[in-house]
Amino acid sequence: MLIDYKATLALRCPICGEIGLHSFTIFDFSGGENLQIECECGFNKMVIGTNNYKQYWLQFACVICEVEHITFYKGNELWSSDIKEISCLENEIELGYLGLADKVKKTIEEEEKELESVLDEVGFENYFSSPEIMLSALNLLHDIAETGGLSCQCGNDDIDIDMFPGKIELLCNQCDGLTTINAETKADLNFLKNIKKIEMLEGVVSALEKRN
């Protein structure tokens, strides 16, 4: 079997939350150099290295559990045409993909189309004042919830999420606590990107705001 020593990585950045495509070849490891995969925001989100080209190790910062993971691939696995899922080693949640460029791009596009079709059914584009900001905010809230970072002081972690034209409301269905999150501008999104944990006040109606 002829192996094409090229690969493309799609991995979500734990800092800005964006998924970027990064292509590399076997020649990037010549001279024993490790390959640094940087996000457009400047964060070094993965290091790939090898000692003998027979086994490769991937070290990356996890957006889910906020620790660094290391995973290993044999040379024929890394350079194979199969899509490899990059996942959190603790929660097995998908963070990205590794494989041939066309297959990685197709996988990402299929996920986006599936999401767009769901959003079209609920009139996403026409309802929200800034659909792209709202979608990114929902993704960030999903990541926070997946790590157990979304809860209420009453002890409940089953929080309902309701969407409105320029905001998101978090509702505790146990004590009726309510927290509002603005989701209309890039500033709103940047504020939410820096939040790792949301603990709602028991029985209180409040807004998630930056503290001075």
Q: CB of 112 within 8 A of CB of 92?
A: no
Angstrom distance (rounded) from CA 194 to CA 14: 10
Continuous H helices in the chain: 75-78, 101-121, 124-127, 131-146, 186-193
Q: CB of 168 within 8 A of CB of 162?
A: yes
Which stretches of the chain score pLDDT less than 70? 1-3, 17, 64-66, 91, 114-129, 210-212
The Cα-based distances of 42 to 13, 15, 17, 86 in angstroms read 10, 9, 12, 20
How is residue 144 written in tokens? 């926070």
DSSP state of 197: -
Angstrom distance (rounded) from CA 99 to CA 77: 9
Whole-prediction pTM: 0.57
Angstrom distance (rounded) from CA 110 to CA 49: 30
Q: What was the pLDDT predicted at 41?
A: 81
Q: What was the pLDDT predicted at 108?
A: 83
